[in-house]
Structures are given as C-alpha cells and as structure tokens.
Chain A
Amino acid sequence: GESVGLHLPTLSVQEGDNSIINCAYSNSASDYFIWYKQESGKGPQFIIDIRSNMDKRQGQRVTVLLNKTVKHLSLQIAATQPGDSAVYFCAENTGGFKTIFGAGTRLFVKA
C-alpha cells in the first residue's frame, strides 16, 4: 500500500553544520511532497513543499530535493541552530485532499 518512510529515526548534528533529513516514498502518483516540523508539545508546522514535477525548491535556510527515479525526498537545513531541534515529518498529497505522513525523524542539535 501507500507509505512514506524515513531512513533514520534520529539525527544528531553540531550547531552550525548542515542537516540532511531523508525520506522514501512509494506512491509515484503523489502530486506534492511536504515537510513539517513538530516541536515538543506542539502540533506540526509547515516548512516547505515541492511539486512532483520539480527536483529542487529552496526556502529560508531550507532546501528540499526530490529524486523521482529512486522515490527519495530530502530536507536540507543550512547552518543548523538549536531552535531547529524537533521531529521532522515528510508527507505526500496523493491527489485530492488526502495526506500521508511518514513516521518522523528526530533532529538533535548539539551546542
């Protein structure tokens, strides 16, 4: 069935380094892929999305890369800060208004 998964459940990076969070998906028909950030005790917060016909999209300090050949999605965070510590979810819109989330990756930022 449809699934969105992650390569690593946790990621630890040094403050100031770049972070790369990876995600694998299985539904080739999805039209959008999305990244959300969830801080402890809060609901998820939208970060960035990318349409399925694009390879790369940049935001403020974040870049999302989409490789449709291997069904892989990644979120790159530049100059990681302590405030970036959170759980990051990839998600996909499978058409219409249905959204499927991955299991999440916890990012730890070491000072």
Chain B
Amino acid sequence: EAQVTQNPRYLITVTGKKLTVTCSQNMNHEYMSWYRQDPGLGLRQIYYSMNVEVTDKGDVPEGYKVSRKEKRNFPLILESPSPNQTSLYFCASSLRQARNEQFFGPGTRLTVL
C-alpha cells in the first residue's frame, strides 16, 4: 500500500530533551516536507526537501532540523524542544513534477512539558 508513515504517533516529552520524529514514504517521491498544525493557524511549513541531500527552510524552521540521506526517509529533529513546539506534525511527500498533490502521513501529536 502506498503510504507515508510517521513515528511515533504520540509523544510527551520535557523541555530540552532531544527527539526525532521519523517519516518514511514508499512511493519513490522526490519531494518531502514537514508541517506543523496549530488551531486557527492551519498548516505551516517547517522544512522541505526536493531530493536526497537537498533541503530548504519553510516558514517556521526555527528550533527544527531535518536530514535527507535516503530518498524514502525525512526525519524531523528537535534538538532542544520547548513548550511552544507542542503541536500536531505532518510529514508529506509528492512527485517532483506533481508537487501540488502531496500525500500526508497520519500525524504526530507532540506535547512538550
């Protein structure tokens, strides 16, 4: 089944404890992206990647890191999480030539205490 998977789905952590949210897609998509979703603000793009080893900042990159060492994986790293990073996070992927049609993962709900 073609899909985008994220792990973990739920995470409660404390301020300053490094964490990684994994994202994997099995559709051979070049493009991958991370968003955060907060009430009343819709989805805001954190980082995106056009292909392996090519990443760029979205609108809200502060406090996040990403890497794209393999085509299928695009992990989101929070080196020192803070409470304002409590949010619902979505990973998405698409073909490079069909970048409008993004396939989203199920989401990761993160709470930083």
Quick one: which of A79-103 are within 8 Å of B by CB?
A: 89, 91, 93, 97-103
Determine chain B's interface SS by DSSP, over half rule: strand
Determine chain A's interface SS by DSSP, over half rule: strand
Contact (Cβ within 8 A) A49 B101:
yes
**Chain B residues within CB distance 8 Å of chain A:** 4, 31, 33, 35, 40-45, 48, 50, 56, 58-59, 90, 92, 99-107
Contacts of A93 in B (CB 8 A): 99-100
Contact (Cβ within 8 A) A98 B45:
yes
**Chain A residues within CB distance 8 Å of chain B:** 4, 32, 34, 41-46, 49, 89, 91, 93, 97-104
Q: Of all chain A residues, which has the CB nearest B50? A: A97
Minimal beta-carbon separation of B62 from chain A (angstroms): 16
Given contacts A97-B31, A97-B50, contact A44 B104 (CB under 8 A): yes
